Amino acid sequence: MNHNTSSPGESNPPAWAGWEPGLRVVVRYLSGDQATDAVGTVTARSETELVLRTKRGDVAVPLEQIILGHEVPPAPTRPGPSHRTISCTDLEGLLAEAWWPPVTRWLHETNLTTDDESEPTRAGWLLRAAGGHTKRANSALALGDTGMSHEKALDAVRLWYDELGLPPTVCLYSPPSSTHPAKDAVESAGWHEFAPSLVFTAASGEVAALAREAVMTIPGAREYRVDAATAPTNAFYAGLGFPDEHPEALDQLLTSASDQFFAVAGAGDTGSKGANAAPDGVPVGVARMAVARKWAVLSDITVAESQRRRGVAVFMIGMLAAKAAQQGIRSMALQVAADNDAAIALYEKLGFSVHHRYGYWRA
C-alpha cells in the first residue's frame, strides 16, 4: 500500500519506513546488548519508534535499533493452511490494500472530533472513493467497530459520499453461515443489497500445479504466451477494454499495492504485432496479481470474448500462481460475482474454495 521512492544515488529506505498501523510484522532489534525478535501487529508509529501488539503485550521498538524486519501474513484463527484459517476481517483488510483508491478515510468516533493534522485512528469502517470506478473502490468497507451506533455510522457514510457526489454504498461481508453485525441496522435503514459476491482462496503452489495439469488437457492452450510486467502496459489496458485512453483512477487502483504484476496473454508469435497480440492486435487475455501482507490477490482476469473456454485464463492464473509460489507467497485470493457460474467452476477446478461472501448495500 505504501510506495517508498528514492532519488538516483540514494539508498532505498528500509522496509519498516513505510509500515503503518494494522500490518503484522516480524522485527529483530537491539535491546541492550542483545538482539531480540518480536512478532505482532503495528498499532502506532512515530518518528522514533514502532509499537507492536504481541502475544506478550505491547512492545515499543526504537526505529534506530531495528536490525531487520518484514511483513508477515495475518495470524490464523485456527489450525490449518493460512488460506483457510485467516479471518474474514483480516482477509478483507488485505484485499482492500490490494485495491487502494485515491481517496480514503477511516470512519471512527475519535476521528470525528480530531483535526485534520492529527494521526487518525485506523479502525472502524474504511470509506473509499475513486471517482465511481468499480464498486470496491467506491464503498465503505465495514471492517470493525466504529465506536458509534450503526445508525450514526450510516448517516456519516451518507454525508461523506453525498459530498463527493457518489451514491452512498456500504460493503458487508460474512462467513457463508452467518451475517455481518451491521446487517440488521442497514436493512432497517432501508438500504438494499446488490452485486452479491464471493471471495475464493487457495494455496499458490496447488493452483500452479493444477493449472499445469489443466493446460495439458486443453487443445491449443500450450500455444499461448504470457508475459508479466510490474506496471500496466498499453497492451494490458487494451485487454481491459481501454485501447486508447483509460481513467486516471483506474491507473491509481492498478498500481496501489506494494507490488503487482500484470499478465498479458497472446496467441504465440504474432510477428510485428508482438507476442501479446491476437490477430486483431488486442491481447487474448490479461490479469493482475497484487501482493499484500504476503498474499497474492488476483483481479482483472479478462479474456477476449472470441478466445474464451480455450485455456487462456488457466494459462495466466497458472503463471501468476507459479510466480507467487517462487517468491514464497503461499496463499492466494480472488473475488467473483456470486452468479458467475463459469468463472466459479474454473476457479474450483484450479483449487480455489469459497472463504466468505460479501455484498454491497446502497441507500
Query: How many angstroms separate the CA atoms of 240 and 231, rounded?
Result: 14
pLDDT at site 122: 83
Q: What is the pLDDT of residues 291-309, one digit of tens each?
A: 998 999 999 999 998 888 8
pLDDT at site 267: 67
CATH H-level superfamily of 200-355:
Gcn5-related N-acetyltransferase (GNAT) (3.40.630.30)
- Would you state the cell numbers that stand for residue 345, as one nine-digit string? 467452476
Across 52-78, average pLDDT: 83
Between 20-29, 227-236, 253-262, 328-337, the lowest mean confidence (pLDDT) is in 20-29
Residues 6 or more apart whose Cβ sits within 8 Å of residue 149 = 185
Output b/e per residue, 314-342; b: 16+ Cβ within 10 A: bbbbbbbbbbbbeeebbbbbbbbeeeeee
347 vs 268: which has the higher pLDDT: 347
Query: How many angstroms separate the CA atoms of 263 and 246, rounded?
Result: 18
pLDDT at site 271: 35
Query: How many angstroms separate the CA atoms of 46 and 360, rounded?
Result: 36
Contact yes or no for 205/339 (Cβ under 8 A): no
Q: Is the pLDDT of residue 242 over 70?
A: yes
pLDDT at site 4: 40
Query: How many angstroms separate the CA atoms of 18 and 2, rounded?
Result: 6
Confidence of residue 115 (pLDDT cuts 50, 70, 90): low
List the chain domain ranges. Answer: 15-71, 82-196, 200-355
178 vs 23: which has the higher pLDDT: 178
pLDDT at site 117: 64
Q: Which fold has domain 15-71?
A: SH3 type barrels. (2.30.30)
